[in-house]
Structure 1
Amino acid sequence: MVKDELFAHQQTLQRVIDTLTGDIETACQMVVTAVKADNMIFLAGNGGSAADAQHIAAEFTGRFVKERRPLRGIALSTDTSAITAIANDYGYDQVFARQLEGLARPGDLFIGISTSGNSQGVINAFISAKKMGCITLGLSGRDGGKMNSVCDLNIVIPTEVTSRIQEMHILIGHILCKAVDDMF
Structure 2
Amino acid sequence: MDMTSRMSSHFEDAIDTFRASARELAPALAVGVDLLFGALTNNGRVLACGNGGSAADAQHFIAELVGRFERDRLPLAGIALNTDTSIMTAVGNDYGFNAIFERQVNALGQPGDVLVAITTSGNSPNVVRAIEAAHEREMQIIALTGKGGGQVNQLLYETDIHLCVPHDRTMRIQEVHIMLLHALCDGIDALLLGDTL
TM-score, normalization by structure 2: 0.91
Q: Report what 2:26 is aligned to.
A: 21
Q: Report what 1:72 is aligned to.
A: 77
Extract unaligned runs of 5+ from structure 1. none
Q: Report what 2:176 is aligned to.
A: 168
4+ runs deviating over 2 angstroms: none
In the aligned structure 1, how far is the partner of 2:162 from the partner of 2:24? 13
1:70-121 superposed Cα distances (whole Å, 9 cap, x missing partner) = 1101100000000000001111000000001011111000010000000000
In the aligned structure 1, how far is the partner of 2:162 from the partner of 2:127? 12
Q: Report what 2:131 is aligned to.
A: 126
In the aligned structure 2, how far is the partner of 1:66 from the partner of 1:157? 28
The alpha-carbon deviation at position 147 of structure 1 amounts to 0.6
| Structure 1 range deviating more: 23-32 or 62-71 | 23-32
In the aligned structure 1, how far is the partner of 2:132 from the partner of 2:83? 21
The alpha-carbon deviation at position 154 of structure 1 amounts to 1.5
The alignment status of 1:52 with 2:68, answered yes or no, reads: no
- One-letter code aligned to 2:179: L
Q: Report what 1:96 is aligned to.
A: 101
In the aligned structure 2, how far is the partner of 1:92 from the partner of 1:69? 35
Extract unaligned runs of 5+ from structure 2. 1-5
The alpha-carbon deviation at position 25 of structure 1 amounts to 1.0
Q: Report what 1:178 is aligned to.
A: 186
In the aligned structure 2, how far is the partner of 1:22 from the partner of 1:181? 18
The alpha-carbon deviation at position 2 of structure 1 amounts to 2.7
RMSD between superposed Cα atoms in Å:
0.8
What SS class does the counterpart of residue 144 from structure 1 fall into? helix
Q: Report what 1:86 is aligned to.
A: 91
Q: Say which of 115, 122, 133 aligns to 1:117.
A: 122
Q: Report what 1:8 is aligned to.
A: 13
What SS class does the counterpart of residue 68 from structure 1 fall into? coil
What SS class does the counterpart of residue 140 from structure 1 fall into? strand
The alignment status of 1:38 with 2:43, answered yes or no, reads: yes
What SS class does the counterpart of residue 143 from structure 1 fall into? helix
1:40-99 superposed Cα distances (whole Å, 9 cap, x missing partner) = 100000000000000000000000011101110110000000000000111100000000
The alpha-carbon deviation at position 29 of structure 1 amounts to 1.2
The alpha-carbon deviation at position 149 of structure 1 amounts to 2.1
Q: Report what 1:157 is aligned to.
A: 165
- One-letter code aligned to 2:186: K
TM-score, normalization by structure 1: 0.98
What SS class does the counterpart of residue 148 from structure 2 fall into? coil
The alpha-carbon deviation at position 157 of structure 1 amounts to 0.3
